[in-house]
Amino acid sequence: MITNNISKGKLNGKKIGVYFGTFAPLHTGHQQQIYKTAAQNEGVLLIVSGYDGDRGSQIGLHLEKRFRYLREAFNDEPAIKVAKLDENGIPEMPHGWDEWSNRLFDLIRANTTSENLSVTFYVGEAEYVTELNKRFPQNDGNSYAVEIADRRDIQISATMIRQNPQAYWQEINRVFRRQFSKVVTIMGSASTGKSTLVRRLARSINAPFSEEYARIYEEQANLDDDELGMDDYARLITGQYDANSHEINSPANQGIVFLDTDAIVTRVYAKLYLSTAAQEQLEPLFQQTIQNEQMDLILVIPPITTYVNDGFRNMAWEASRQAFHDELMRQLAEFDLMAKVVMLDDTGDGRDQGGYLSRYHHAIDAVKAQTGVEIKRLES
């Protein structure tokens, strides 16, 4: 794979197209225009612009994140170079055109190798045509032109997506989808039916789901729960985060993913079973990972189920299930996540003695209420 945009490489060729925008998010309409620009030029300088508090920042897509996402989105396009125009410190328009244009032309010089360039700007508003024409550099050997990009054929905008991302999911560039994906995480102590619920919720809507990494790790390493040390816990933290991220970034993600545990669950186990010294060494990794996690809904199953010997589970830990649950709730409060928590404490009835169907239906209702995503279910 050619990773042009993570190198220090510059655009070759004399005919350069410049396409810029906020890209909050990048969508299929942008992509069509960018590919058209690429076809009409030898290279494309794709410029993402923004400032602190702009419309992207308001939904968590700050300028640096958009820049990195764009580089990732075009990392196999050697003729498309991504650059960033930081608009902080520029006077409010119309007073900022001079400074904005200076930064724009500096980016062109910094990202091209040839002299005597033929540069064409592709813009969406007539104002840009007027203002750029006034400020073309003189006597630098380059020629400049501005064209209005025709956006009538593709009726989609970033504003429409920000207002209702699920409705326009197919229009969002796959790299940017992670920002808009609804994430449901299921937590609880051992043998509460977490893994079963994760699978069934996900398969009820054909969504991707992650599995509990600790179980995979212990089976591969042939370790028991009480044999895990600090280094093992470090691998569990990063392993579960990577497994969850993989599903969020999966092409199968159509707007919602279901995750089987996270770093908070691992932190609870560490609190109960590791030494204080080991916990202190792991704490920076826990804090950073939990800060980076994305959750819209947390489904917690309390220890109201039978503790089942599945041939893998440590049966000596049955007595600590309530202590685990109490510590889990304390940590969810510590990280100010209680507003996202729904307790699945349904006990069922005569036909559903284990309460599994009741909790499944409760979870489906919670998903719709908290994320807006509907999973069809039986009414009785």
Residue whose C-alpha is closest to residue 259's, from 177, 165, 194: 194
163-188 in b/e form (b: 16+ CB < 10 A) is eebbebbebbbebbbbbbbbbbbbbb
Residue 122 and residue 208 share a domain:
no
Residues 155 and 236 in one domain: no
Name the β-bridge partners of 86: 50
Higher per-residue pLDDT: 124 or 237: 237
Would residue 5 count as lying in a domain? no
Mean of pLDDT values over 26-31: 95
Q: Give the torsion through C-alpha atoms of 180, 184, 185, 186, to 10 deg.
A: -170
Is the domain of 245 the same as that of 364? yes
Q: What angle do CA 98, 104, 106 make, to 5 degrees?
A: 105
| Domain shared by 195 and 144, yes or no | no
Same domain, 252 and 304: yes
128 occurs within a structural domain: yes
- pLDDT: is 224 or 245 the higher one? 245
Whole-angstrom distance, CA of residue 22 vs CA of residue 45: 14
Residue at 82 is within a domain: yes
Q: Kindly state the DSSP code that residue 137 receives in the 8-state scheme.
A: P
pTM for the structure as a whole: 0.85
The larger pLDDT score, comparing residue 379 to residue 90, is at 90
pLDDT of 307 reads 66
Tallying the residues shown for the chain, one arrives at 380
Rounded distance, CA 362 to CA 99, Å?
56
Do the beta carbons of residue 187 and residue 263 sit within 8 Å?
no
Residue 2 phi, psi dihedral angles, 5° rounding = -85, 120
Q: Are 117 and 62 part of one and the same domain? A: yes
pLDDT in tens, 114-156: 889 999 999 988 898 999 999 999 888 899 999 988 766 667 8
Residues 145 and 207 in one domain: no
CATH of the domain at 121: 3.40.50.620
Strand order across the 256-260 sheet: 256-260, 182-188, 297-301, 341-343
- 3 state DSSP class of 30: helix
The answer to whether residues 198 and 147 belong to one domain is no
pLDDT at position 315 is 52
In a domain? residue 2: no
Write the CA distances from 380 to 75, 358, 375, integer angstroms: 50, 10, 15
Is 168 within a domain? no
Whether pLDDT at 109 is above 50: yes
Say whether both 63 and 189 belong to one domain: no
Residue partners of 90: CB distance under 8 A and separation at least 6: 51, 96, 99, 100, 103
CATH number for 241: 3.40.50.300
Q: Tell me: do 355 and 274 sit in the same domain.
A: yes
pLDDT tens by residue, 344-375: 998 877 777 778 889 999 999 999 999 999 99
> Is residue 357, in this structure, part of any structural domain at all?
yes
Q: Write down the H helix ranges in 222-371.
A: 230-248, 263-273, 276-292, 321-334, 356-371
Question: Is 7 inside any structural domain?
Answer: no
309 — pLDDT class (breaks 50, 70, 90): low
Region of poorest pLDDT, from 7-16, 81-90, 92-101: 7-16
Give the single-character DSSP code of 169.
Answer: G
- Residues near 333 by beta carbon (within 8 Å), at least 6 away in sequence: none
233/271 Cα distance (integer angstroms) = 11
The span from the CA of 329 to the CA of 50, in Å, is: 39
Domain count along the chain: 2
Tens digit of pLDDT for each residue in 49-95?
A: 999 999 999 999 999 999 999 999 999 999 999 999 999 999 988 99
**Is there a domain that residue 148 lies in?**
yes
Q: Which two tokens stand for residue 266?
A: 């691992």
Instruction: Show the DSSP H helices in 224-262 as ranges.
Output: 230-248
Residues 106 and 235 in one domain: no
Q: What per-residue confidence (pLDDT) applies to 1?
A: 47
- Mean pLDDT for all residues in the chain: 91
Domain housing 307: 181-371
Please indicate, yes or no, whether residues 203 and 97 belong to a single structural domain of this protein.
no
CA-nearest of 51, 80, 79 to 64 is: 51
Query: Which residue reads 């790299």 in tokens?
Result: 175
